[in-house]
Structure 1
């Protein structure tokens, strides 16, 4: 059962413009993982023991949210050059699956 979805975007109330004129991501843009987890919290659903599917390996900040949300399995396709998010998930026992 799908309990949430998420995408990179701005917080509610902002125009959904994620980059400035130079192509740099704006500081207040939320990652897809954060959007999905906050939607769960607002909906009253529970993510304890859930599996999260993402296209790209999560950053460190999103990995902290994944852990705190009780998500126990993460499936991702594309690796990211910085691995600290994946390393943290593995360290606390979240099952991490790469389907490249």
Structure 2
């Protein structure tokens, strides 16, 4: 009985942290200058935030994600790519980390997530194309969707 209770307590604690990190990702998404969609990402390893990101243009470019037709410019980086690239510029490693996203990843970002060594994904909203999630599930990532964190 005590072991089961401890397991339940650990799961409840993990869910509290998952929701807190997702709320942080939602706040981070508000920093995006993109008009069509604002996405935030937080990478956590060993209970420490090692990177964050939001969708937007590369450093040094004007903060306008859409062209005059309202289409997203080809060079706009997705939130998860921005966060993974931040990890790459540090002494940290994403291997074994958890990625918190406001939206599930596209198929291109899913490849980056897998290759970075991230082992767990927690997200709120589903992206219109489920290919990225399906790819990560097939690869064995632990995936959790939490609505309204």
Q: Same fold (TM over 0.5)?
A: yes
1:22 positional shift? 2.1
Summarize deviations over 1:34-90 as a string: whole Å, max 9, x none.
000000000121111000000001000100000000000000000122100000000
Tell me the residue number matched to 2:114. Answer: 67
From the two aligned structures, give the one with the greater helix fraction. 2
Which stretches in structure 2 are left out of the alignment for 5+ residues? Answer: 1-47
1:12 matched to 2:59: yes
- Provide the aligned length of Structure 1 versus Structure 2: 100
Displacement over 3 Å in runs of 4+: none
Tell me the residue number matched to 2:133. Answer: 86
Q: TM-score if structure 1 supplies the norm length?
A: 0.97
Tell me the residue number matched to 1:34. Answer: 81
Summarize deviations over 1:11-43 as a string: whole Å, max 9, x none.
122112101122110000000000000000001
Which stretches in structure 1 are left out of the alignment for 5+ residues? Answer: none
The structure with the larger Rg is 2
Q: TM-score if structure 2 supplies the norm length?
A: 0.66
Stretch deviating more after TM superposition (14-23 or 46-55): 14-23
Equivalent-residue separation in structure 1 for 2:83 and 2:91 (angstroms): 13
Equivalent-residue separation in structure 1 for 2:58 and 2:128 (angstroms): 26
Tell me the residue number matched to 1:98. Answer: 145
Tell me the residue number matched to 1:57. Answer: 104
Instruction: Give the RMSD, CA atoms, in angstroms.
Output: 0.7
Tell which has more relative contact order, 1 or 2 (C-alpha 8 A, sep 6+): 1
